[in-house]
Amino acid sequence: MIKSFQIPEQRIQPLNNKPIRRGDYVLYWMQASHRTEYNHALEYAIELANALKKPLIVFFGLTENYPEAQERHYFFMLEGLREVQTSLEKRGIKFIISRLSPDEGAIQLGRRASAVIIDRGYLRLQRKWRRRVAKHLECLCLMVESDAVVPVEVASNKQEYSAATFRPKIKRKLQEFLLPLQPEPIRLDSLAIELDLEPFSLTDLNKAINSLKIKRMAKKIDFFHGGTSEAKRQLRLFVEKKLESYPDLRNDPTSDYQSHLSPYLHFGQISPLYVALEILKTKSPAADFFLEELIVRRELSLNFVFYNPFYDSFEGLPAWAQKTLLEHQEDQRPYLYSLEELEQAKTHDPYWNAAQMEMRITGKMHGYMRMYWGKKIMEWTSSPQEAFKIALYLNNKYELDGRDPNSFVGVAWCFGLHDRPWAERPIFGKVRYMNDNGLRRKFDADAYGRLIQRLEEKRNK
């Protein structure tokens, strides 16, 4: 392993004990960090390639059956990858997207590699892919963490109970990792290297999407577009227009004061480290409020999915939450809705319907409404286990940032994760309760409903 001059060693983990070989190139398997800026895995791969006097190849495996992924997710992702391709080519680095299982493609290209660099994934399938690749390679395989400000094991060595227990631990480590990352020039051009894999063309994105055998129940959307440049535009807009009022207006869905960065963070199209450094540059009193969400809350989610093997099921909830919900599962529900009724936003509650439609139309739901949305699913289904499955299914199907550690935790929070017991009541037991009166006290809930109705009318024109 070659020591990096600018990347902390704690970001770099060997996944096998194989040697660096006399290969044709260094391979960076890009699967989580879809960007060329502030990408520690890419910069380490460039440093290693330069040290070995080898060219660098970057590979992305395009699987058509990623769990729960829909057309909108693929389109947003491919918009970002097209930008990655252009950026890498400008740096003289060959980028190949191939239509096959990512682990299989990395193994095939790894046969000619001197070493393989991998970025980090936290979910079950992502970790399985990386273990398989490291096992089958005959060369050194290193994983470089670039989608957390503080590497997950460095922040904590166990599953944390709540933000209150996690916050002091990660804050003690921040200064070690809040470090800028400069791009490293590549010494050897790799654009002319011939590879055995068939490339997948991104020249025409509509044609590319139509050629894929993917789920198409949640169609692509026009409210958000993928890519690092678009992510940075959203960040600039937030810093210039929204940050100062963020502490007061972030929980009001009638006022657009969210950063809208979560889809870009999910696909690795923008670095959380870069975002944090840009926010700190402002020296705004509001910065701490935003960094609490970006670093403490987001990386608490990484902590949960990393240390809890049941992160995507009812069994992953805290013992007290499971116990109290099961004790009340026979309680009479005021309403019972089927999955189809919930998915089509056909409930008696106009605010819940609006939240569901916002997610379906825009690919994103306001964070405060997502809490209310999840709580009501628990109240309107026959059991807490069914409610958990439905909430996660709808969230992952329609949200652009679905299938993300933050999404799994966002749903689980509605069922008691990272929260404390409250006063006992029917159905919810000791899990926190929310109702529509609470919405109306917080903001103009009827105005929110009208806002979503206008979006729906515009979409249907």
Indicate the CATH number of 148-181+228-307 among 3.30.450.20, 3.40.50.300, 1.25.40.80, 1.10.10.10: 1.25.40.80
> How far is residue 411's CA from residue 284's CA, in Å, rounded to a whole number?
31
Q: List, in sequence order, the alpha helices (H) in 308-442.
A: 319-327, 339-343, 350-362, 367-379, 384-398, 405-414, 436-442
Q: Is the dihedral of CA 351, 226, 73, 209 positive or negative?
A: positive
341-394 pLDDT per residue, tens:
999 999 999 999 999 999 999 999 999 999 999 999 999 999 999 999 999 999
The closest alpha carbon to 285, from 243, 227, 240, 327, belongs to: 243
Query: Which residue, among 192, 17, 169, has the nearest Cα to 94 in the 3D structure?
Result: 192
Q: What is the mean pLDDT of residues 289-294?
A: 98
What is d(CA 398, CA 305) in angstroms, rounded to the nearest whole number?
Answer: 21
- For 6-49, write each residue's pLDDT tens digit: 999 999 999 999 999 999 999 999 999 999 999 999 999 999 99
Residue 458's pLDDT band (boundaries 50, 70, 90)?
confident
pLDDT tens across 125-180, in order? 999 999 999 999 999 999 999 999 999 999 999 999 999 999 999 999 999 999 99
| 1/340 Cα distance (integer angstroms) | 53
pTM over 0.85: yes
The residues of the chain that CATH labels 1.10.579.10 are 310-455
Task: Provide the CATH number for the domain formed by 310-455 in this structure.
Answer: 1.10.579.10
Delimiting residues of CATH 3.40.50.620 domain(s) in the chain: 1-147
Q: How many angstroms separate the CA atoms of 105 and 437, rounded? A: 53
For 369, counting Cβ atoms within 10 Å of its Cβ (0-12 exposed, 13-18 middle, 19+ buried), the class is buried
Where exactly does CATH 1.25.40.80 map onto the chain?
A: 148-181+228-307
**What pLDDT digit, counting tens, does each position of 301-323 carry?**
999 999 999 999 999 999 999 99
Among 346, 91, 363, smallest CA distance to 223 is for 363
Question: 1-147, what's its fold?
Answer: Rossmann fold (3.40.50)
DSSP string covering 47-81: HHHHHHT--EEEEEE--TT-TT-BHHHHHHHHHHH
Q: What is the pLDDT of residue 85?
A: 98
**142 has which bridge partners?**
14, 117
